[in-house]
Amino acid sequence: MASGPLRIGVCGNGTVGGGVIALLQDQASLYRSRCGRSLELTMVGARRDRDDCLVPPSVAVERDLSLVASARDLDVVVECIGGTELAAELVRAALSSGKSVVTANKALIAEQGNELYKLAEDNGVSLLCEAAVAGGVPIIKALREGMAANCVSSVTGIINGTGNFILSDMAAAGRDFAEVLAEAQALGYAEADPTFDVEGIDAAHKLAILASIAFAMPLKFEEVYCEGISQVTPEDLTFAEELGYCIKHLGIAKQREQGVELRVHPTLLPKEEQLASVDGVLNAVRLEGHAAGATVYSGAGAGRLPTAAAVLADLIDLARSGSEVISGLGTAVSTLQDRAVLPMDDVRSAWYLRLNMLDQPGVMSQVASCLGAEGVSIEALIQRPPVHGQQSVSVVVVTNEAREQELGRALDAINALEGIDSQPYRIRVEG
């Protein structure tokens, strides 16, 4: 183990970077005792000063972030600036100059990680990203180290706190999506443009990283299927409750004989499942290993100190390892196995279908016939009585497992029926 200090440059002094800078000062003695050497904040790269981020007078502050990446007296650069263009330039420069990099940037890793991990390996340095997925939940270390003796068959997670907050609040208060989204924005849980969160892009970034580590495969963000939560209604949440389910926005990665499933979408989960009880802005991930079985990890998925603590966990690993390179993916890039991503048409699941149909004899039997023609069987059915003055009724059907392609053809046939009042809405069912 190295005895000299681990010299650290932090780029970015916002929420996460400021948290890292604060922890390095506040917990210096704790980290020294755990590493056998000090974690020394040597340089900060920041375009402007912030009142909520106090940098010690002895630490150099550079306005030009490239000077941090090229500095000779640093061992590791912490990238906390976000985005992908400038961050990618910064990380490439740091790795190329022989510095390890710790980042909280899930978009950067998911979209450009294959190139960056190869660059780190070629330069004999480490690229670590514990903070990029699930904030303070140590899920990457759990996969890379704790599950190292397991063949991991599936990763299922609530990995976006904004979406989980919205669905949890909709279910608890019976409010619609737009109203709860506005509240999430007011509370700072959602951005002014919430697309990345509510349409699943943020979760897809994280799922691509988890799948790469779990299955020892290259990152395949561009092949992750994404479906958002904006079409989920309070009525869906009520029906799910009546059927013994809740609705969560999940990232799901599974190994199948034909390929790997990579998908993010609303999902009905049985209420007895552990993930079903995770509400608000919390994150949770369930791993399935051949030896360990199912293990679940839950906690704060974002926030200044939880995310900063994940960054520090990577820095502590680097301090303990000395000159030894740590593989951020748990294996050398050259040993990754390219795995085909299963087309969504071939993915099998059970289905929740919400239909609005005219309150007329024979319509339900026609719906059942359309499903049966594609080999889709009905497991449960709920039909609401007609509201006075209305001619249509809400009907919910839960099916047994069927391929998406089969279900899609059945829904096309159902939608063509004269007794169907609006486009059917479907949600996948897990468990």
Q: Which CATH number fits domain 139-300: 3.20.20.450, 3.40.50.1970, 3.20.80.10, 3.30.360.10?
A: 3.30.360.10
The model's pLDDT over 396-409, given as tens digits with 9 standing for 90+, comes to: 999 999 999 999 99
Rounded to an integer, the average pLDDT of 33-56 is: 94
* Burial status of residue 257 (CB atoms within 10 A of its CB: 0-12, 13-18, 19 or more): exposed
The model's pLDDT over 111-129, given as tens digits with 9 standing for 90+, comes to: 999 999 999 999 999 999 9
- Active-site entry in 99, 141, 206, 254: 206
Q: Domain extents for the chain?
A: 6-135+304-335, 139-300, 348-429
Q: Of 168-182, 209-223, 384-398, which range is least confident?
A: 384-398
Can 206 be counted among the known catalytic residues?
yes
Q: Where are the extended beta strands (E) located within 104-211?
A: 127-128, 152-158
Among residues 60, 109, 100, 104, the alpha carbon closest in space to that of 81 is found at 104
Rounded to an integer, the average pLDDT of 412-419 is: 94
Model pLDDT, residue 2: 64
Rounded CA separation 282/274 (Å):
13
Mean pLDDT of the chain: 95
Percent of the chain predicted with pLDDT > 90: 93
Rounded to an integer, the average pLDDT of 82-100 is: 96
Rounded to an integer, the average pLDDT of 165-176 is: 96
Vertex 113, ends 151 and 329: CA angle to 5°?
30
The model's pLDDT over 344-387, given as tens digits with 9 standing for 90+, comes to: 999 999 999 999 999 888 999 999 999 999 999 999 999 888 87
b/e code 148-172 from CB counts within 10 Å (16+ = b): eebebebbbbbbbbbbbbbbbbbbe
pTM of the model: 0.96
The model's pLDDT over 203-238, given as tens digits with 9 standing for 90+, comes to: 999 999 999 999 999 999 999 999 999 999 999 999
DSSP H or E run through 421:
none
Model pLDDT, residue 144: 95
Q: Does domain 348-429 have CATH number 3.40.50.720?
A: no
Count Cβ atoms below 10 Å from residue 393 Cβ, excluding itself: 19
Do the domains 139-300 and 348-429 sit in the same CATH topology, yes or no? no
Nearby residues of 195 by Cβ (< 8 Å), 6 or more positions away? 201
Which superfamily, per CATH, for 6-135+304-335? NAD(P)-binding Rossmann-like Domain (3.40.50.720)
pLDDT band at 1; cut points 50, 70, 90:
low
Rounded CA separation 282/300 (Å):
5
DSSP characters over 300-359? E-S-HHHHHHHHHHHHHHHHHHTTPPPPTTSS-GGG----PBPPGGG-EEEEEEEEEEES
